[in-house]
Amino acid sequence: MKALLIRHPQTEWNRAGIIQGRLDSPLTSRGWEECNALISGLQAEGITPDAVISSPAGRAQQIAARIAGHFACDCQLHDALQEQHFGGLEGRSLSEIQRVYPPFIDDEHFCPPQGESLTQAAQRLLTFLHRLPDVCSQETVALVSHGHVIQAAIAQLMENSLSNVARYHHPNASFSLLAIDEKSCRVIRWGIASHLLNLPA
């Protein structure tokens, strides 16, 4: 099976540099343009999802519904695709958090108050990916998720480590292509964002 691990489009809080986590904010006008560009990009790549599974966050569900509608397939929700839980840090600016909690960026084991560490978030998503063939029979599945947890999962799959997690940053509305079977989950391509190049800055 192939899985597309898709980051949701730009939101108001993405643009403002505010940590969302389990909170939510509306898509920007650019975010809606990114939705359309992503669908066009999948078509250009010859990728046709047979099913869509989304994080329950509104910003993820909106693009998931667009993808499911365009490709005429079912859309389900799964908690394993949620963003890292930043607990008491959610709703605060990234610049403020970096001042108050310096380990936030560099320490994958740092657990925000009432939240989860990046290591825990990555393991949650990876467990779901490895079990995907048991819960989904479709050949190509679009999984709509979030930036931090996606880049952590990709880093773990590529390097078996989160030491270089920043290397695997995924822009809004970018995606990675995975090959998954009962025995393995491997990255074919990651951080695909060429479909966004023609959008205005």
Note the pLDDT tens digit of each residue in 120-142.
Answer: 999 999 999 999 999 899 999 99
Spell out the alpha helix ranges (H) of the chain.
Answer: 12-16, 29-44, 58-71, 94-100, 103-106, 118-135, 147-159
Determine the longest span between alpha carbons in the chain, in angstroms: 46
CATH code for the domain defined by 2-196: 3.40.50.1240
Active site residue 170: no
3-state secondary structure of 89: helix
User: Of 33, 34, 83, 116, which one is the catalytic site residue?
Assistant: 83
Find out whether 146 is annotated in a ligand binding site.
no
User: pLDDT confidence of 29, banded at 50, 70, 90?
Assistant: very high
56-113 confidence digits (pLDDT tens): 999 999 999 999 999 999 999 999 999 999 999 999 999 999 888 887 777 899 999 9
User: Of 8, 70, 85, 148, which one is the catalytic site residue?
Assistant: 8
Active site residue 83: yes
